Amino acid sequence: MVVPALHRLFPRKMNALFGGLLGGIALLVGACQSTTDAPTVATAPAPAPTGLTGVPAASGTATSGPLSPVLINGLSNPNNLPGQALISFPQAAAPSPGGTKPTINARCAILVDGQGRVLFEKDADLRVPTASTQKLLLGLMVAEKGDLSGSITIVASDSDAEPTVMGLKSGQAFTRDELLRAVLIRSCNDIARALARDLAGSESGYAAAANVRARQLGMTNSYFTNSNGLPSPSGQYSTARDMAILCAHTLRHPLLREIVSSKGMLFRFPDGTSKTITNTNLVLRNFPYCTGAKTGFTNAAGRCLVSSASANGRNVIAVILGSKSPDVWIESEALLRYGLGM
C-alpha cells in the first residue's frame, strides 16, 4: 500500500493562496519573554537526573522512512494514544528541494519535509533549552485529556511565573478551552502553570507526566522540569529533532489546528473585562506561506522558533533554537523557503 505523506498533517483552509483547499496550521504564539534584553545561547545542559531512567520507554517502533498511516490520520485517532508507531526524522540524505541551501547561524536547526525526510540539519541532536516552544507539549496533553468545557479555578501559586503573564487572580474560574487557546496564542506563563496543575496536581507532577508523554511521542532526547520553559527548575532540555517531532504530533489534532490558526483572541475575565491578545511571530506576519510558529525566548535558550509552511503541495517543519533577533525570523523564513523549493 502507499504510505501517506506527512502533508496530511497539514489540512488546508479555503483561500486563494491554496486553490480552495484546506490550509495549514498556524502556531501563533507570543514568546515567553525574559526581563533581560540581551539573550545568550546556552551550552548543552547537564544530562537528565538519574530519576529519569525510570521513565518508561516509548511504545511502538520508530519509522525509518515515510510516516505511518496511523500517525498521519489524526482524524481517525484524535487522541494519539500511546502504543502507536512513532514519528521520527532519522539522519538520512534527502534530495535537495531546489534553490540555495541557507546559511544558519543559530545554534541548532532542522528542516523536515512532508515525506518525513530531513532536508537540513545543524546540531539537531544537541541538548539545549527551548523556552516557550515546549508549551506545544502542554497544549497537546491538555487537548488529549479533553473535557475542555470543564472549569479551572485559579490559585495563588499559578501566578508565580513572571515575566509573561495574563494576570490571572486567585479565585477566578475559566474553562479549559479558554486557557488552552490563550496559552497557545500568547504563551502566558501563569496560564501554563494553571493548566499544568489541573493536569497533574502540581508543576513537578506535570513535569513527570510530560517526560513520559514525550517518550511516548518519540522524543527520546528531551527532559522537562516545568510547563512554561523558564530556566527554573534547572536541567531541562530538548533538541531541534525532538521539537520537530512534537510539532508534527501537534499538527495532527483538529482542535489544536483550529486554535493555532488564530491570529489573536479576546480573552475575557470573570469581572467582564477583556484583553485582546495577538501573536508576535514575524515570519507568520511577513511570509504568506508560513502556516504558523511557536516562539520562545529566555536568556538561556536565546530566540527559538518552531514553524511550518505549505505551498504547491509541499509541507515543511523548521526548528531554530539558540538564535537572536532578527536572525531567528530571517533564518526561519529562509529554511521554510528552501524546503518549499522557493
Domain extents for the chain?
A: 6-339
pLDDT at site 245: 95
User: What is d(CA 37, CA 300) in angstroms, rounded to the nearest whole number?
Assistant: 12
Residue of higher predicted confidence among 175 and 13: 175
pLDDT at 270: 95
* pLDDT of 26 strictly over 50: no
Average pLDDT over residues 46-68: 32
Give yes or no for residue 64 having a pLDDT over 90. no
32-36, 71-75, 302-306: which has the minimum mean pLDDT? Answer: 71-75
The answer to whether residues 308 and 251 touch, using CB atoms and an 8 Å cutoff, is: yes
Domain formed by 6-339, architecture = 3-Layer(aba) Sandwich (3.40)
Q: Lowest-confidence range among 66-75, 104-113, 295-304?
A: 66-75
> Rounded mean pLDDT of 253-279?
87
- CA 225 to CA 202: how far, in whole Å? 11
Phi-psi region of 171 (alpha: psi -120 to 50; beta: other; left: phi over 0): left
Check residue 263 and give its pLDDT. Answer: 80
- What's the predicted TM-score (pTM) here? 0.76
Distance CA 23, CA 20 (A): 8
CA 67/CA 331 separation, integer angstroms: 27
- The rounded mean pLDDT for the chain is 77
Strands (E), the chain: 108-113, 118-122, 151-153, 173-175, 264-268, 274-278, 290-298, 302-311, 314-323
Query: What is residue 254's three-state secondary structure?
Result: helix
- The DSSP call for residue 35 is S
Is residue 286 over pLDDT 60?
yes
Higher pLDDT, 196 or 252: 196
The grid cell for 305 is 522558533
% pLDDT > 90, the chain: 54
Peptide bond into 66 cis (omega under 30): no
Choice among 94-103, 112-121, 197-206, 263-272 with the minimum mean pLDDT: 94-103
Q: Minimum mean pLDDT among 251-260, 273-282, 298-307: which range?
A: 251-260
All three cell numbers of 281, joined, read 511571530
Q: What is the pLDDT of residues 131-145, one digit of tens each?
A: 999 999 999 999 999
Confidence of residue 312 (pLDDT cuts 50, 70, 90): confident
